[in-house]
Every structure is written in structure tokens, then in C-alpha cells.
Structure 1
Amino acid sequence: MLTTVLSDRAQRVMLLILTMIAVPVGLYLGKPVIAPIVFALVVGIVVSPLAERLASIGVPRVGVAILLLLVTTSLIGLLVLMVEPLLNMLIDQLPRLKAAAARWIDTVSGVLRGIETISKEIEAANGGGESDTKSALPSVRDALWLAPNFGAQFFIFIGTLFFFVLTRNEIYAMVGHLEPILRKADRAVARYFAAVTLVNACLGVITALVMLTIGVEYAMLWGLAAAVLNYMLYLGPFIIICGLVISGLLQFTGAMALLPAAAFLLINFSEANFVTPWVVGQRLAMNPLGIFVAIVFGLWLWGPVGAIVALPVMLWFEVLMRTDMPIGSESGSMMNPA
């Protein structure tokens, strides 16, 4: 009898281990299909309050779905077009980056060799010149449309978003008593995302103004990048800080070179510890380690899309697990959700 019990436990443990391995592998291998579906579902949940408001004033459900689809896809496309100049600027600055790196980190030979290789590849694509670097490399729009799977993934995204917004009420009605819980989770994610969007917009404006005051080139683009990347908790601000360190090394000398990164670090610290907790409230009572692991796992799994949707998905599931708690009464320490 004891042997049978131990055997059953061993089978359950092995089944759990196999499931923990199979699920991430399946999600990773299914990235071309699963990632746009999850992203569309998150976007659909975020815009669900607006969809309900439009439906309540008599707008047909099909019209609501079409309108929200056009708005969300237009906003995403606009963000891509706005980020493109920043990427092109970084490409243009590669020769200056090489020279600055040679002055500041000449002891790190591996980094220098990497920069030298990148510079030589750009020069080779240019035929040896530097003036046509921008035209020698594809733009963001060219790269997106040349990507083999982008068209199919975009089609999956818009199809999932449209039909989710169109049939969301019917889908939730099918689960019976779980419908109020699902709607509560949707409201929590939508309110969180709206609050974080407001905070990130203010962060971008302040960052742009501070960079403009310091004299950093492309200050407006740095503000845009700060607002967009701040959706990726921890990783986004880290990327901005690294970029501003490079920008400071390119433009300034001495301690002044670190001023742009230090200024943004102070702005982000104030946003993370004072502004965001005040605006968002105490809805996110999640463990900081869990948040960090979720972001890193999402980034590894699906790239930037995974990093962006990781926290909303985590919050959505957390609200489902806290069915006995009102959304506004959750307690716990608040970490920066932006």
C-alpha cells in the first residue's frame, strides 16, 4: 500500500515537472501564433471599458469592434513611426560611438572589437563611406515588412482583437458564475494600464524637457523612448539609462557626460517611488521578485511583446486568485508597475 502511495506521488511529481517544461517550450515554439493572440487579448481587455461605454450609448457591437481596431492599430503604427528616427539616429552615431568608446574604455578590448566589427560592416555596406549610413540600412518599416512572419502575425493580432471585442460578452457569458470575476479582472487591468499610461506620458514629457535643458541631442526622442520603454518594468529604464550614458559620452566630457543618465535616474526614481504609487494606488500587491522574473521570462519568451504583456497578464491572474477581495482593498507593498 505504501509503495502504491509513493508511486502515485512520484507520478504526480514527474507529471508536474514535465508540464513545467512542456508549457514554456510550447509557448516559445508557438511564438508566431501565441504571442500576437495574447497581445491582442491584453489590448482587448485594456479597451474593454471604452467598448462597454460605446455599446451603452447605442453604438452597434460591430461598429465598436471596428472603431477600436482602427484606433489601436493606428496608435501602434504611430509608435513604430515615432521610434524609427531614434533608431536611425543611433545608427548614424555609430562612428562617433566608436571614437568615444576608444577614449573612455580603451582597456576593454572585446567591446572595442565589437564596435570595430559593426563599424566595418556599415562601411562595407556603404562602399567605404559614412555619409550614406542611413540609406544603406533598412528603416524600421522596411525591416517589419521584410520580416517573413510579420504579415501573418499582424493578421492574427487584428483578427483576434476584432473578434474578442465583438464577442467578449458572449464568451464571458459561457463561463457562467465566473463572469463577474473575469470582468473584475478586466477592470483592474484596464484601470492599471490607464493610470500607467498617464504616468508614462508625464515621464516622457519631463524627460524630454530635462534633456533639452541639459543640451542632449534628440531630447524629444529620448522623452518618447522613456515613455514607451517604461511599460517594461526594470528593463525599460535600464535601457534608457544605458542609452543616455552613451549619449553623454558622445556629447560631453568629464563628469558632465554622466549628467543625462543621472538626471533620468532621479526622474525615474521619483516616478517609481512617489508618483506611480500615488496614481495607481495599492492594487498591485505582487512580490517584486515575481514581477522581475515575469518580465524577464516574457522577454525571453516573446521578446519586447512578452515583456510588455507580462505584467498585465500577471495582474489579471492575480485578481482571479483574489476573488474574495474587492479590487480597491488589496494590501501589500507597492512596486513600480510602470
Structure 2
Amino acid sequence: MDTTDEPLDLYDIAVLLNYERATTEPRFRHTKLREVALPGTRPKTVAFKAPNEHEWIDNDCTWVVLDQVPDQSSDRDLFSDFLPEGKKPGGGISEQELETLFYQVRCHDGGYINIGLLQILFNMFPNDTKLKIRHAPKNKSPGESYITSVTKRVIIEEPFMYPKTSMAIAILPENQLLVSGNMPNFETAIMGFGALDDPSDEVKSYLDLSSMQFGDAGRGPGLNGKQLFALDTTAEHQSRVMRTMGGNDPEKTPKTSGAIRGTPYDDWLTEVATRVKKKWDNRHEEHWCGHCGSPDATSKCAGCGQAWYCGKDHQKVAWGFHRGYCNKA
């Protein structure tokens, strides 16, 4: 099948990138969940006092304690293996909340890492490669979609104030502590896209592969989405900012650029991007879950026969987006 003229689909690409990145994240390789302490509580299995904790802002802090198990044969970490064998979440944590934690941990402080990943992937395609952008449907209306180019993108570094949530991740046995969202000022990077025929370069769409660092409030796309990343219109992006932050820092303005310098993770990110490009190139022979990106996609949408899922649960979650593009909806 000749697919030369088919545009890249940003939504599908984001699903694949999210899976390949999250399941091979080097900072959290081979870690198992020991304990979760929800806002207002502290870990019970370890006494862990963070440096300068008295300077933290007063927001909803979730503590996550992980055990690193180095001798693992698996080439990736899966949500299904997040808990040690035979252990249940406990503490009133539901299956969906456990999934949120898995991705929230792996999105920790990941804005610039994910921008580097997107930059590497897009640079693997010719500059004239078309890019299709699809947004979630609203009510009974279909989602907004348009065709642009991989070059009609911009990196946006946004300064925020007073994040509404924070996370402290303790990794044992090295006693490593990673904290985000605990200071009054917070900066992250996302990627914006404009229409191909718009000379003003106005940003119409915002992609944040690290949106799950804010927990369920970071889910997308759309105002009531359930996806593991955010692909938002301008209005949806502004709404998400207000749900996760106290607002933009009035003393700073967002910075825009066409590229960022390399990161310490570029070798790994290149491997991730290479795997995603290979999957995209073989998209008519290989299938992946339209929600989480897993290659174990055995359930096909009975309506259109085009979308695949790893199970009924993820198919149901993804319907909020897919219904806008399923030709049998």
C-alpha cells in the first residue's frame, strides 16, 4: 500500500510517543510501587524528610515511594507491573488512580524532555511532510481538524505561578528524591502548532506530552478528556492552565523558539523516536492501542474497523475522542 501522501497524524504519533517514552523512562527503570501517601498524609514505610521542605508552598502533595529492582529481564516497564507481584494498591487507590500514578511519575518534570523527543522525531521527516491535527469533539459536534506541516511548530516556554498539586518521589534504596510543583514559580515547555495557510503563525493547537504530571487534572484532550497527554485548542489549553495552576506569572512572558539545545537524554530519546517512526511507517500492518499505545492491541472498533485497543476498558476511555472520527458513530 502506497502511503507516501498520507500526512502524519499528531494524535496517533502522540499516543505512540507516550507509550515508548513512559515504558522506557531511564529515571524510573525497573521501579515498583511501595507506597502512596495522598495529600494530607505522609509515607508510613519510610521516614523521608525533604530538604527545605518548610519552604514548600501549601498545595496538594502526593508522596510516592518506589523500590528500584535492578535485575529485571524486561526491556520496558509496564503499568501492569507497577505493583510487586501479589500486592494490591491499598489505601483506597482505584485501578484508574494507579494508572494515573504510573504516568504521573514518568512525566515528572518532563516538559523539556518531551520537547526534545518531539524535535528529534519531526527532524526524521522531510520538511514538506504534512501533519494532520485532530481535536476532541465537543458535545455532538465533530472535533476540529486541519492539515498543517511539521515545520509549522513552535516551542513555548510558559511561566506559571502556584501549581495546585505537587509530587515527591522517593526512589529506594538510593534514597533519591525528586520533587516538582512545590515552589511558587513553575516553568514548563509545550509545543504549539499553526495552520499551514496562516501567515501570522498564530498557535491553534497545543501538545503537552507531560500533562499527566498534574494527575487527573492534566488528562486530555478536550475539557473532559481521559487521554494520557493533552492535545488542546487554545480555549482548552487556557482552561487546563487554570485547573492546574494559579495562573501565568505576570512578571514574565512566555518565550517561543524554533528549537532547543540537546538534553542529557538525547541518545535515549533518539531510540524512542526511531521506534515510533518505524511503527508509524508500518501502521497498516501493525496495530497499537488507541489509548495507551500498547502493541498488544487485539480489540478492533466494530464501528469503523480502523481503531484498535488493548482491551474494552481502554476502548471505552478512548471513545470520548474516537467518536468524533469514527465513521459509524
* Common fold: TM-score over 0.5: no
**TM-score normalised by length of structure 1:** 0.24
**TM-score normalised by length of structure 2:** 0.24
Identify, as 1 or 2, the structure richer in strand: 2
Identify, as 1 or 2, the structure richer in helix: 1
Larger Rg: 1
